[in-house]
Amino acid sequence: MSTAGGNGGRIRASGIGKRYGIVASRDRAVQFNTLAEWLVTLVRGRARPEMLWALRDVSFEIGAGEIVGIIGHNGAGKSTLFRIISLITEPTEGEMEIVGRVGSLLDVGVGFHPELSGRENVYLNGAILGMPRAEITRKFDEIVSFAGTEAFLDTPVKHYSTGMYMRLAFAVAAHLDPEILIVDEVLAVGDAAFQQKCLGKMGDVAKQGRTVLFVSHNLGAVRSLCTRGLVLAGGALQFDGPVEDAIARYLSSAADRGAQDGEVSFGPGGLAFADMAVLSVRLCNAAGDVRNVKLPVRLR
């Protein structure tokens, strides 16, 4: 893995793979990352170790100013990829070249100390992102205003709600001018107004020539924000192209997956259930009478 400075964020992944050790016990699967953990498990004889590839042979290039959505089912490898790009973890194989400073928001409260106040954590998190204190001070009021946490600045963040935590963390990451902004499911918390502020801010970051990587199960947000999409499935890069085509590929794979599992799923062509197709739907009241109700719903 290599990094370099520059005016715009650029990423090049070549054959990236990440392997984890998994302990499969009778009741659960336990991940381990060190040789010591593996040896202790073997000595105790509790389970047999297995190796799991969270990512395998993933290659792509992202240029400055691109807004790229990364979508896939749970367990597809999205968060693992983001952790590699964020320099939190090293790939097992392949090379990741990153040009520019990375600001990432992957988990609620990462980089925050629960005993410190919101004010102190803004400076702490900014320092972790590599920003000088003078720059943090210059942007402090803007960060706090965006997060809407002015009344709780001197309260330890361990007393914050999840939404407050995430709003402040996003505000810090987005306002300290990273060349690459990585956002993982930030829209899962907060009200609609704040979610819209987040989308607007990410768009502003990209207009300044910076790069945004955005992962979300909210396909509407991905469609409105991104112009390009990467689809991950089973740790492999399944598709890389225009965002509309990426969403269609994801929905198609979701329909296929649901059919295999015997579950209902939505995808191109409508509603699928195993080897059957839904041809019509009737809505009835408690007496069984058909009701004519216009629904604001589309099946894609």
Is 172 exposed, middle or buried (CB count within 10 Å of its CB: 0-12, 13-18, 19+)? buried
Q: pLDDT by residue for the chain (300 residues), tens digit each?
A: 655 544 568 999 999 999 987 655 544 555 555 666 666 665 655 555 577 899 999 999 999 889 999 999 888 999 899 889 988 889 999 999 999 888 777 665 567 888 999 999 999 988 877 788 998 999 999 999 998 889 999 999 999 987 888 888 888 878 877 888 888 776 655 677 777 888 888 888 888 888 999 988 888 889 988 999 999 999 999 999 999 999 999 998 766 555 444 444 444 444 444 445 555 666 676 666 766 655 444 444
Domains of the chain, first to last? 2-13+61-256 (3.40.50.300), 259-291 (no CATH)
Query: How confident is the model at residue 261, as a pLDDT?
Result: 47
**Three-state secondary-structure class, residue 22:** strand
**Three-state secondary-structure class, residue 143:** helix
Residues in the chain: 300
pTM above 0.85, yes or no: no
Neighbours of 229 (CB within 10 A): 25
Phi, psi at 248, each rounded to 5°? -60, -40
The string of DSSP codes covering 93-115 is EEEEEEES-EEEE-STTTT--TT
Query: How confident is the model at residue 272, as a pLDDT?
Result: 43
Query: How confident is the model at residue 238, as a pLDDT?
Result: 95
Query: How confident is the model at residue 259, as a pLDDT?
Result: 45
Annotate 179-206 with b (16+ C-beta within 10 A) or e (fewer).
bbbbbbbbbebbeeebbebbbebbeebb
Whether residue 53 contacts residue 17, with contact meaning beta carbons closer than 8 Å, is answered with: yes
Query: How confident is the model at residue 194, as a pLDDT?
Result: 79
Query: How confident is the model at residue 264, as a pLDDT?
Result: 43
- Dihedral of alpha carbons 27, 75, 73, 108, sign: positive
Alpha carbon distances (Å) from 120 to 37, 111, 123, 138? 35, 12, 5, 15
Alpha carbon distances (Å) from 188 to 194, 292, 293? 11, 34, 31
Print the SS3 string covering 223-252: HHHCCEEEEEECCEEEEEEEHHHHHHHHHH
Cα gap 20→237, rounded to integer Å: 18
